[in-house]
């Protein structure tokens, strides 16, 4: 009898605890986010160096500034149309294979007149090609945004998680898409020691 009571009490405590945890966690929400970006290059510099096995690399540093356009307004609790800056860009390219890795930090405001951030976080791109005015070809890139979201400028515990595709022009201006719209760029991958020039 004592074993049955202990078992029932234990079961009741676990059940109540599980319900409390489930209630405290809040209701889940996952929405499709679909947007495009038009970005102008700002203050890019480049330096070359010799890497492992004598291969020449170049590292570009700079900023992109421009606008983001929400392709499906109202599909998320955030307005995804407004000014965007991708700052602290560090883009290192293997000049033998033209494969590169670009890191930057996205800062997006859904209101051009406001300093309140809507989302901010790291951008990582795997790139293929060289930004050369002589070739006139664009550099294709594919990667991801892993940004924290904000409501009225206050972190709200949410995220913008996006697979993103970029076309980077010879002058380093870029256009990008994430969500249901695709630029048709293939998947790229790398193994890297995370060093730069």
Into how many domains does the chain fold? 1
| 26 assigned to some structural domain | no
Write the pLDDT tens digit of every residue in 25-48: 678 888 899 999 999 999 999 999
CB 152 within 8 A of CB 125: no
Determine the pLDDT at residue 65.
97
Query: Beta-strand (E) ranges in the chain?
Result: 35-50, 56-70, 82-94, 99-108, 119-128, 139-151, 154-168, 174-178
Write the pLDDT tens digit of every residue in 95-149: 999 999 999 999 999 987 778 999 999 999 999 999 875 566 789 999 999 999 9
| 4 assigned to some structural domain | no
CA distances from 88 to 28, 76, 121 (A): 33, 27, 11
Tokens of 134: 């002589």
Domain region containing 66? 35-178
Residue 3 has pLDDT above 60, yes or no: no
* Selected residue with higher pLDDT from 191 and 48: 48
Percent of the chain residues topping a pLDDT of 70: 81
Query: Whole-angstrom Cα distance, residue 120 to residue 85?
Result: 10
| 56 assigned to some structural domain | yes
| 19 assigned to some structural domain | no
Residue holding tokens 């996205």? 106
Q: What is the pTM for the complete model shown?
A: 0.82
Nearest to 185 by CA among 134, 127, 124: 127
């Amino acid at each position: 009898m004592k074993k049955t009571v202990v078992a029932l009490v234990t079961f009741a405590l676990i059940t109540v605890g599980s319900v409390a945890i489930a209630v405290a966690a809040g209701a889940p929400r996952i929405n499709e986010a679909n947007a495009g970006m038009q970005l102008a290059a700002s203050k890019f510099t480049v330096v070359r160096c010799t890497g492992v096995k004598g291969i020449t690399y170049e590292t570009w540093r700079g900023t992109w500034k421009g606008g983001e356009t929400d392709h499906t307004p109202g599909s998320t609790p955030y307005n995804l149309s407004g000014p965007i800056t991708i700052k602290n860009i560090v883009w290192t390219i293997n000049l033998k294979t033209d494969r590169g890795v670009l890191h930057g930090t996205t800062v997006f405001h859904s209101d051009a007149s406001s300093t309140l951030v809507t989302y901010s976080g790291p951008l990582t791109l795997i790139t293929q090609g060289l930004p050369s005015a002589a070739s006139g070809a664009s550099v294709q890139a594919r990667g991801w945004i892993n940004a924290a979201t904000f409501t009225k400028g206050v972190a709200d515990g949410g995220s913008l998680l996006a697979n993103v595709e970029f076309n980077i022009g010879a002058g380093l201006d870029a256009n990008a898409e994430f969500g249901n719209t695709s630029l048709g760029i293939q998947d790229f991958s790398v193994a890297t020691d995370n060093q730069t020039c």
